[in-house]
Amino acid sequence: MKKIIFLFIIISLSLVQNTFGQIDCEKNLIIGKWKITNSLHWGIQDNIDSLRTISKGDTSMIGTIQFKTDSTYKITRDYEPSQLNGFYHIDTEKCEIILNRKKKKLTNKKAKERSNWEIIYIDKDILIYKEDNNPKGYATHILLIN
């Protein structure tokens, strides 16, 4: 009976760990050039498996974002001639990518000058994040490795 209870506790803990958000928020997973897809979902994020299935379908690219090892990023959009450059920081506790225009980390007082991307899922070929400071509410985005 004790073995069954112990096994139940282990399974319960692993389900909780695997159910809520991304666990690995390391910088080396983010570094690289990602395709920005036109796959955008308003409101609370969908099921991860559903979003992965959508990413394998016909998602057209609307630009790229490149995260470099020196903590800089560059966004290029197909519909805009200019590029957006800046600095990014990884908040491993919240599992967020924080995009800043300036190198210095910005405090909450200047939150309007930054963009927080909460990582929902990341692996070697897909990055799913939730943009929570969008004026229209939560927006879930899909990036694919280029």
In sequence order, which residues have a C-beta less than 8 Å from that of residue 139 and are 6 or more positions away? 40, 41, 42, 130, 131
Model confidence pLDDT, tens digit, residues 75-99? 998 887 778 889 998 888 888 898 8
19 belongs to a structural domain = no
12 belongs to a structural domain = no
**139-145 and 61-67 beta bridge pairing:** unpaired
In sequence order, which residues have a C-beta less than 8 Å from that of residue 42 and are 6 or more positions away? 136, 137, 138, 139, 140
41 belongs to a structural domain = yes
17 belongs to a structural domain = no
Query: Who has greater pLDDT, 11 or 66?
Result: 66
The pTM of the full predicted model, rounded to 2 decimals, is: 0.72
Tokens linked to 106: 């910005």
15 belongs to a structural domain = no
Q: Which range of residues forms the domain containing residue 94?
A: 24-145
Q: Using CA of residue 79, residue 85, residue 86, residue 92, what is the dihedral sign?
A: positive
139 belongs to a structural domain = yes
Q: How many domains does the chain have?
A: 1
CA distances (Å), 51 to each of 31, 77, 96, 100, in order? 21, 22, 19, 27
pLDDT at 74: 94
119 belongs to a structural domain = yes
85 belongs to a structural domain = yes
Residue 60's CB is within 10 A of a number of other CB atoms, namely 9
pLDDT at 39: 74
Q: What is the CATH number of the domain that holds 109?
A: 2.40.128.280
Model confidence pLDDT, tens digit, residues 34-43? 998 887 666 6
Model confidence pLDDT, tens digit, residues 96-131? 898 887 776 655 555 555 688 888 888 888 998 887
